[in-house]
Chains A and B, each alone.
Chain A
Amino acid sequence: MAAGSESKTQVERASDRELLIRRVFRVRAETLFDAMTKPEHLRRWWAPKSLGIVVFSIEADVRVGGRYRYAFGRPGEPELAFSGVYKEVVRGARLVYTQVFEPMSAAGEGLITATFEPHELGTLLTQRELYPSKQVLDGAIASGMERGMRETLEQLDALLPELQ
């Protein structure tokens, strides 16, 4: 099942515990790799304004066995964080790291594999997200739906007085 097959970024559920994200970037693989791993760059793109979250801090010791931690959240609210350990680091080709969403650390570790391949326009990035279990991915989807539904209801609530 895929979403956005005609847009720049494609997401598909590749199996019961895996998502695949693909995108072509108009830059060289080494540049893309650096922009995705250096903290001073990460803090500029990882939480774009449109998401309504801000980066509180980013640490990334990009070498095999090194740790990273991205702390973020809504302004003025407690921080949330993703953290993990780098398993494979090949600049411009491959980056593999574990990932824990700290508020749900009991759910276990995911594994993210990012591969960089030459493309006529620049570089094709494929990010494979392997979730700790099918239940965790299902749970993420279920909670996302819950949020989506709540947002819809809130929008409806906001509209109702205008309609009456």
Chain B
Amino acid sequence: MPREAYKLVVETFAALAEPNRFQIVELLRAGPRTVSEISERLALNQPQVSKHLRVLREAGLLDVEPRAQQRVYELRGGPLRELHDWLERYRKVWDARFDALEELAIELETKEKTHGRRKRK
């Protein structure tokens, strides 16, 4: 992965690590919102929200669109999709492990039954 792309990924997660920003992203998952809608829903004042939105924009996580007198913020797909893809890969690792674990555990119980020692310590 080129140095620049790596830097971008790290910046993305730095941006998401702050709890309020994480909440903003979770809120925007449902659809675009204005600053005032976001500050109302998350009980944060508007200057705070604006500051967080600026960080998220700089990390490339948001797009902004003017609508009437307002600016509407919405999620940009790329970086979040990467996080999702990573979780999906991690899930597959554990899924493969757990399939093997379950198979082994079922085998253990079957053996116990055939030995007639179900309550074995």
- A interface residues, Cβ below 8 angstroms from B: 1-4, 7-13, 16, 19, 21, 23, 25-28, 31-32, 34-36, 41, 44-48, 50-51, 134, 138-139, 141-142, 144-146, 148-150
Alpha-carbon distance A26/B85, docked complex (angstroms): 28
Tell yes or no: B54 within 8 A of A by CB: no
Tell yes or no: B96 within 8 A of A by CB: yes
Tell yes or no: B59 within 8 A of A by CB: no
CB A52 to nearest CB in B, in angstroms, measures 11
Alpha-carbon distance A64/B84, docked complex (angstroms): 36
Q: With contacts A41-B104, A141-B86, A145-B85 known, what are 12 further pairs, Cβ within 8 A?
A: A4-B95, A7-B91, A8-B95, A9-B91, A11-B87, A26-B106, A27-B109, A32-B101, A51-B97, A141-B13, A146-B9, A149-B1
- B interface residues, Cβ below 8 angstroms from A: 1, 5-6, 9-10, 13-14, 16-17, 19, 22, 80, 82-91, 93-106, 108-109, 112
Contact B83 A51 (CB under 8 A): no
Alpha-carbon distance A3/B85, docked complex (angstroms): 8
Contact B94 A9 (CB under 8 A): yes
Residues of A within 8 Å of B102, CB to CB, are 25-27
Out of A16, A35, A142, which one reaches B105, CB within 8 Å? A35
Residues of A within 8 Å of B22, CB to CB, are 16
Alpha-carbon distance A134/B95, docked complex (angstroms): 24
A–B complex contacts, Cβ < 8 Å, 18 sampled: A1-B83, A4-B88, A4-B95, A8-B95, A8-B99, A13-B83, A25-B105, A27-B106, A28-B109, A31-B109, A35-B101, A41-B104, A48-B97, A51-B93, A51-B97, A145-B9, A145-B86, A148-B89
